[in-house]
Amino acid sequence: MFLDLLFPKKCIACKKIGSYICDNCFSYLTFDAKNTCLVCDRPSFDGLTHLRCKKRHGIDGCFSSISHNKTAQKLIYSFKQKPYLSSLKNILSDLFYEGLIQNENFIRELNKGKWIAIPVPLHKTKLRKRGYNQSEILAEELAKKFNFQTKSLLERVKNTKIQLGLDKKRRKENIKDAFKINTNYMLDAKNIFLVDDLATTGFTLNEAASVLKRAGVKKVIGLTLARD
């Protein structure tokens, strides 16, 4: 391609010329995202919320594909920079998909009913600035591969600060009341996969899940490409 001559592709992680992720760096990406309960942050063998941690409007679990190591971090960061969007879309959604189909706990949940994939939304100010929502793109790609529907059922009504650097208490306050149901859609889904690029504290997924559950959704499970 003409553009490749002007701007040769470089590995995002090590800068080696040839592709956006070289074979060597690719080999550092691992499908060993840890399974933790998103409520108490302790290990959960099947990725689901512990019975003792379940709340009426709480999230039911979370499945993630790769662990958030340095290489994954660089890829996810670059995915939010427009020039990398189209190339990384396929790489990242393939990784996301691979990690999920290898996960028997995910497959068990998937087979339990009809699911709709909903991206964790960006606030419109951020969306305007970036031009796209990376989580929406991942949700759409997953939906194609798994053949489920995707809808932007949630809206972000609070332009939250960057979570990085905030302590746990502030992160929780920061995300509180950040979401509401998008009234352009009929909410008739019973089971929802909430799709995001990364889960760290789980506060974002928990908050979004509680909004959906208060609106009548039965089950909400997070799906994230990477997990801290």
In angstroms, give the least distance from the CB of 34 to Zn ion: 13
Burial of 162 (0-12, 13-18, 19+ CB in 10 A): exposed
In angstroms, give the least distance from the CB of 130 to Zn ion: 25
In angstroms, give the least distance from the CB of 136 to Zn ion: 28
Bridge partners for 63 per DSSP: 223
Restricting to residues 35-74, name those near Zn ion by CB under 5 A: 37, 39-40, 50, 53
In angstroms, give the least distance from the CB of 72 to Zn ion: 13
Candidate ranges 5-13, 121-129, 152-160, 187-195; the one touching Zn ion (CB under 5 A):
5-13
**Residue count, binding to Zn ion (CB under 5 A):** 11
In angstroms, give the least distance from the CB of 206 to Zn ion: 12
SS3 of 21, please? coil
Bridge partners for 155 per DSSP: 180
Contact between 91 and Zn ion (CB under 5 A)? no
Asked whether 113 and 191 are in contact (CB, 8 A), the reply is: yes
Q: Which is nearer to Zn ion, 13 or 154 (CB)?
A: 13
Phi, psi of 218 (to 5 degrees): -85, -45
Comparing CA positions, the residue from 132, 127, 140 lying closest to residue 223 is 140
Which DSSP string corresponds to 76-134?
A: HHHHTSGGGHHHHHHHHHHHHHHHHHT-HHHHHHHTTS-EEEEEPPPBHHHHHHHSS-H
Restricting to residues 6-35, name those near Zn ion by CB under 5 A: 11, 13-14, 16, 22, 25
Q: Which is nearer to Zn ion, 9 or 16 (CB)?
A: 16
Q: Which is nearer to Zn ion, 156 or 227 (CB)?
A: 227
* Residues within the interface to Zn ion (CB under 5 A): 11, 13-14, 16, 22, 25, 37, 39-40, 50, 53
